[in-house]
Chains A and B, each alone.
Chain A
Amino acid sequence: MSASEIRKQTLKQLRAARTGMMSAEWMFALEKADPERQVQAAKELLRVHHAIQKLENAELADIRDKLLENEAALAQGADQLESALENLVQVKAVLKAVAGLLVTAARIVALIA
């Protein structure tokens, strides 16, 4: 099992535990417990909740870091598209220039004739 899969499985179990500790059944059980047990239960809920937050952060940070690896290439890709667009505009300019040359040639022919 990869580190990522272990993290996923751990998160699944921790989330289930946290949900259980927010339920009506858990609350009823705690109401009957002694004060020391109530303190321990509150700390346990926080430990589980904070562990979930840290694991989720780690998972998202991993993906973020992989996205960052490709960031320069992606920005370059967008720049290259803009260059391709400029080239296309130049193709249009060339075709326009050809049309212009033909108009000029037609005028010259008319003058000579």
Chain B
Amino acid sequence: MVHRSALIDRNRLLVILGFAIVLGACAVGTARINQFEEFAQAGTRFADTVPPVLDEAFRVAVATDSLVLTQARVGLRSSEDRLKAIEQSNRNLTERIAILSDLKRQASLLGAYFVALQALAHTDAESSGMTEVASGIVGALGKLSPRIASAKIGGSPVSDFLAPVVSLTFTAFQSAALNRELRKNGTIIERQLDLQQAALTAIADAMRAELEIHAVAADRDSIVLPFVRDGTLPSDWAQRRADAFQRQTQLRSVDAAAKAAQSLRSSYVALVENRLDETNLTALLLDINSIVTLLEGVRGRQ
């Protein structure tokens, strides 16, 4: 009698331990899936910010071209030379806008990929109605056997344990699908992120040089020339000079988009290697948000 009671206790303990492992596995699987979802959300937001950055880059390129043409025009004596100059500029800018259009489309494709990844990661057990399904199964089992309806495991009703099992089944399928995706397309996505970073770095370098020209021309016309030439200084001359020094610091913000691309790529590698954490994600989101600051800052200066 004592021996049989000990066996029953041992089996009960094993069942409880088994379900504890199931619950633990469910939590770990869900955490990984949440990482996919959060990363995919960040990726989608990044892809959405790329087109406005490219539009702003082109606007600055045209404004710089106009500034250079205006200065050169003073020295060009013949209308033929002036026509040649503006036609060459127009050809170069037409080519530029076509390339930027292609880059926008590539960012959009990347965005579509992240939207699909987010949808797959977002289909969690709760939002998909799996918990209702689990309740339905428990209810149906209860009707088949009243003993099941009243059964307890470790003092808790069996329904408390069945829902996580159903969730784990769903989570396991979902996790397998996401990990399969990483194995299949991980290299391509990493390459695309690498190239996006290269494109934005090149654009940032160009924008930095162009904004520098605007700053040099503005300082020349509003600060240096009035000071050097004869005549009264403008009443706000000292303020213009102070503002000019402030402007130099703002030039560094053009790197925001390229930095965000680099951050996205590093986070993706971390996701693939299963070491993405909240710190990575927070830093990534800050970098992406700083792109908006870049756009506002650049527009304010023009």
Binding site for B on A (CB under 8 A): 11, 15, 18-19, 22-24, 27-28, 30, 35, 38-39, 41-43, 45-46, 49-50, 52-54, 56-57, 59-61, 63-64, 66-68, 70-71, 73-75, 77-78, 80-82, 84-85, 87-89, 91-92, 95-96, 98-100, 102-103, 105-107, 109-110
Contacts and interface: CB of A to CB of B under 8 A. Distances in A.
B119 A60 contact: no
Contact of A84 (B75, B92, B181, B191): B181
A2 to B, nearest CB: 14
Contacts of B225: 24, 27
Contacts of A75: 109, 112
Contacts of B75: 30, 38-39, 41-43, 45
B113 A81 contact: yes
B260 to A, nearest CB: 17
B192 A74 contact: yes
A50 B109 contact: no
Interface string B204-234: 0110010011001101100011001000000
A102 B137 contact: yes
Contacts of A15: 209
A95 B95 CA distance: 55
Contacts of B144: 102, 105-106, 109
Given A46-B85, A64-B103, A85-B119, A18 B137 contact: no
Contacts of A67: 102-103, 106, 192, 195-196, 199
A75 B199 CA distance: 20
B195 A66 contact: yes
B106 A71 contact: yes
A57 B72 contact: no
B128 interface: yes
B85 A77 contact: no
B209 A60 contact: no
Contacts of B25: none
A15 B211 CA distance: 11
B81 interface: yes
Contacts of B7: none
A51 B98 CA distance: 18
A77 B184 CA distance: 8
Nearest to B169: A95
A89 B127 CA distance: 12
14 contacts: A18-B209, A24-B219, A42-B75, A46-B72, A49-B68, A64-B199, A67-B106, A67-B195, A70-B195, A73-B185, A74-B109, A74-B185, A81-B181, A105-B140
A78 B202 CA distance: 27
What 10 pairs between A and B have smallest CB-CB spacing? A42-B75, A106-B143, A102-B140, A81-B116, A53-B92, A99-B136, A77-B185, A24-B224, A84-B177, A15-B209
B96 interface: yes
A46 to B, nearest CB: 5
Contacts of A68: 102, 106
Contacts of B169: 91, 95
Given A60-B103, A81-B119, A53 B188 contact: no
B76 A71 contact: no
B95 A57 contact: yes
Nearest to B173: A91
A63 B130 contact: no
B300 to A, nearest CB: 21
